[in-house]
Chains A and B, each alone.
Chain A
Amino acid sequence: MTEPLRGVAASDESLVRELYPVLRRFAAAAAAWGVDPDDLLQEALVRALARGPLSSLDHPAAYLRRTMVNLSANHVRHGHVKERALAAVAASEPVDSRDMYPSDLTGLNELSPRARAILYLAEVEGYRYREIGRLMGCTAVAARMAAMRGRRVLRTHLDGGQQ
Chain B
Amino acid sequence: MSHDDLSSALETWVDRGTPLGATLLLERVDEQLARPVTPIREIPPHPARGSFWGNAWAATAAAALVLVVIGGWALLVRSGDDTAPVVTEPTYPSTSLIPATTLPLPATTLPLREVERTETTVAHDDLGLRVPLEVPNQTRAEFLAGLDAEGWVTYTDEVVGWSIRYPADWTIGTDTEPGRSLVLLTPESDEGLILTLALDAAPADASSYDYHVGYIETAVAAGVLYPPFDDQWVDDYWTPMDVDFDGRFDRQDITAVDLYRAVDDAGTSVPDGHPSGWFWSYAYYDPAAQPAYAYWFETFDVDWRSNNGLWPAADSVVTSFEPPDGYP
Contact = CB atoms under 8 A, between A and B. Distances in A.
Given A7-B30, A139-B210, A140-B200, A45 B244 contact: no
Given A5-B27, A151-B1, A142 B10 contact: no
Interface in B192-235: 196, 198, 200, 202, 209-210, 212, 231, 234-235
Interface string A87-117: 0000000000000001011011000000010
A24 interface: yes
A33 B16 contact: yes
Contacts, number: 129
A141 B212 contact: yes
A147 B15 CA distance: 20
B103 interface: no
A86 B222 CA distance: 57
B308 interface: no
B34 interface: yes
Nearest to A133: B200
Contacts of B19: 20-21, 24, 37-38
Given A105-B12, A119-B6, A140-B200, A5 B30 contact: yes
B10 A108 contact: yes
A144 B231 contact: yes
B181 A141 contact: yes
A41 interface: yes
A71 to B, nearest CB: 14
B100 interface: no
A50 interface: yes
B60 interface: no
B5 to A, nearest CB: 9
A145 B244 contact: yes
Contact of B34 (A6, A38, A142): A6
Interface string A43-58: 0011001100000000
A2 B30 contact: no
A73 interface: no
Given A6-B34, A139-B210, A42 B28 contact: yes
A158 interface: yes
A33 B16 CA distance: 9
Nearest to A36: B17
Contacts of A38: 17, 19-20, 25
B246 interface: yes
Contacts of A36: 17
Contacts of B30: 5-8
A16 B24 CA distance: 11
A37 B18 CA distance: 9
Contacts of A16: 22, 25-26, 29
A148 B214 CA distance: 12
Contact of B16 (A2, A7, A28): A28
Contact of B29 (A49, A119, A142): A49
A83 interface: no
A37 B17 contact: yes
Contacts of A155: 1
Interface of A: 2, 5-8, 13, 16-17, 20-21, 24-26, 28-29, 33, 36-38, 41-42, 45-46, 49-50, 102, 104-105, 107-108, 116, 119-120, 122-124, 130, 133, 138-142, 144-145, 147-148, 151, 154-155, 158
Interface of B: 1, 3, 6-7, 9-17, 19-23, 25-30, 32-34, 177, 180-181, 196, 198, 200, 202, 209-210, 212, 231, 234-235, 238, 240, 244, 246
20 contacts: A6-B33, A8-B26, A16-B26, A17-B23, A17-B26, A20-B22, A28-B15, A29-B14, A119-B10, A123-B6, A123-B10, A124-B7, A133-B200, A139-B209, A141-B200, A142-B246, A145-B210, A148-B234, A148-B235, A158-B1
